[in-house]
Structure 1
Amino acid sequence: MAIPPQDSETFQREVDENLRRDQMADFGRKWGKWIGGAVFIFLAAVAGFLFWQDQSAKNAEASAEELAKVIADLGNPEESDTLVPRLQEAAGEASGAGKGAIMMAEAAIEIDNANRDRAIEIYAAIAADEDIAKPYRDAALIRQTLLDFDRVEPDVVIARLQPLVNEEEPFYGSAAELTALALIEAEREDEAAQLFKQIAENPDVPRSLRARSVQIAGTYGVDASAALASIEQQDF
């Protein structure tokens, strides 16, 4: 089930920007620590909106309606114990993008409940399910990697994200930054610095990430300062 092009682009842009906010807050600390629950709730809300936009078959209406109700109940403490079971039931009746949206919302709630292991499992399941739309799978793969960065070997991170470290991919910036950090962990600083330079020079990557990449590349002896002029003129 395809996501309308304009909604897919919105989803990718919003998620990618929030991933970078996570990364900026966590950079300099150990990767894989808890990511703020508010960001995940935001992601769940975006996923829910796209789910509504994507559903046209009548047999998906009940699942879409239940997801909307769960999102509406996210801040209600009286409903907190019912949210995950309701989402799991809805996921069992959904498919495609709808299933992806529901599972993303479930993972967001698990993170908010400090259930990191379960969230990682959910994101991994989304990323591996080829019936789910690619934007959801890619976003889930990066979320999974953010959460278990400190639990897996750097080479695992590098291999996992390799398909997304392509400048044609919508999540290139986030995937490339995580890969570069894994390269540093693997003591492959020269490769990491060159990758940070590539990020800095890419005009499609948000300004905050490009500026940060210039600084990190310089720390490892690679001059990416030529990108600063275009970064200063960038409006996103």
Structure 2
Amino acid sequence: MAKTPRRAREDDQAPSAPDDLDPAQAALFREVEEDLRAEQMQKLWKRYGGYVIAAAVLVVGIVAGMQGWTAWQASVRADEAERYYAAVRGQGVDRPALDVLAQEGRTGYADLAALQAANALVEAGDEAGAVAAYDALSADGGAPQPMRDLATVLAALHAMDTESAGAVRGRLAPLDTEAGPWRFMARELLAVLALREGDTAAARTAFADLKEAREAPPGVRSRAAEMLSMLGGPAPGEGDGAAPEAEG
């Protein structure tokens, strides 16, 4: 007589109740099953409970640390914003306060303070000091690149009267790229520089290009059009393609 294969139980520790038990037996079976499961959980907790607690404490610590860091950052930003606006509001600019904020600040207000302090030097007539301040901001690796590039443009603008044309071109050359956000202002200053050197043809060509550059800021295009008009329009074969008529 062939033996009936014994079915493998899904869970040796906690078997399922057979279908042929009466209600009382089924209830007893479930009670035993629950006791076995509780015993299993106790064994698992004794073995791994410490790790679970440690992981929970770590998660709570990380969350609390992130929340504390965010709150601290918000507090620092609010404090530096108040210090910045206190230094620039009113009739005069508190340059010493701006200098301190530029040196000690941890947010973008430090860069704004450095830029505003340099602008204050310009207003005070200290062109050399302003150029040095702009150069310092331009060389600050912690400042955003657009802010550094703007400082380079302003340094070149205020160095045109004190530095050689070659030195000013050296400042502006890295900004004169197709992807540079300040390329049009750099090209405008290069055109002015060419005009100062007496190269009227190069200046007219540069101003004509700026006037027609659709991506250029409106202010740059407007100034280029005015300068081009002062120079008698674009050179022959450029811009509108017509040479200015000679006045009789």
Bin for the TM-score computed over the shorter chain? 0.5 to 0.7
User: Quick one: distance in 2 between partners of 1:177 and 1:164?
Assistant: 12
Equivalences, count: 168
Amino acid at match of 1:162: A
Asked if 1:224 is matched to 2:235, the reply is no
| Cα pair distance change 1:117/1:106, threshold 3 Å | same
Q: Structure 1 residues 87-96 or 133-142, which shifts more?
A: 87-96
Are the equivalent residues in 2 in contact too, given 1:95–1:131 (CA < 8 A)?
no
Question: 2:162 — aligned with what?
Answer: 151
Distance 1:189 1:64, change over 3 A: farther
Establish whether residue 121 from structure 1 lines up as the match of residue 132 from structure 2.
yes
Contact preservation (8 Å) 1:67, 1:102: no
2:119 alignment counterpart: 108
Deviation track 1:169-195 (CA, whole Å, cap 9, x = no partner) reads 221221111011112223333332222
Structure 2 gaps, min length 5? 1-69, 242-248
Q: Check conservation: 1:110, 1:119, Cα contact below 8 A.
A: yes
Taking the TM superposition and a 5 Å limit, the aligned residue runs for 1:127-206 are 127-206=138-217
Instruction: Name whichever structure is richer in helix by fraction.
Output: 1
In 2, Cα distance between equivalents of 1:60 and 1:91: 18
Partner of 2:72: 58
Q: Secondary structure at the match of 1:160?
A: helix
Say if 1:128 and 1:224 are closer, same or farther in 2 by CA, change over 3 A: same
Q: Are 2:105 and 1:94 aligned?
A: yes
Deviations 1:13-60 (A, max 9, x none): xxxxxxxxxxxxxxxxxxxxxxxxxxxxxxxxxxxxxxxxxxx68368
Larger mean Cα displacement after TM superposition, 135-144 or 61-70 = 61-70
- Alignment partners' CA distance in 2, 1:87 and 1:185: 35
In the superposition, the TM-score normalised over structure 1's length comes to: 0.59
CA contact (8 A) 1:126 1:140 kept: yes
Moved more, 209-218 or 174-183: 209-218
Quick check: 1:74 aligned with 2:88?
yes
Q: Structure 1 residues 191-200 or 154-163, which shifts more?
A: 191-200
CA-CA distance at 1:198 after TM superposition: 1.9
Separation (CA, whole Å) in 2 of partners of 1:209 and 1:68: 33
- Partner amino acid for 1:108? N
Indicate if the aligned counterparts of 2:134 and 2:155 stay in contact, CA closer than 8 A: yes
Moved over 6 A (4+): none
Root-mean-square deviation (CA), in Å? 2.9
1:71 Cα offset (Å): 2.2
Q: Please tell me whether Structure 1 or Structure 2 has the larger radius of gyration of its CA atoms.
A: 2
TM-score by length of 2: 0.57
Residues in 2 aligned to 1:64 and 1:194: alpha-carbon distance in whole angstroms: 48
**Equivalent residue letter for 1:195:** A
Higher RCO (C-alpha 8 Å, min separation 6): 1
When residues 192 and 224 of structure 1 are mapped into structure 2, their CA distance, relative to the original with a 3 A threshold, is same
Q: Please, which moves more after superposition, 155-164 or 89-98?
A: 89-98
* C-alpha spacing 1:69/1:96, structure 2 compared with 1 (3 Å): closer
**Mapped partners of 1:114, 1:57: distance in 2:** 41
Deviation string, structure 1 residues 59-104 (Cα, Å, up to 9, x no partner): 6854762453342343446x85xx2222222222235744322211
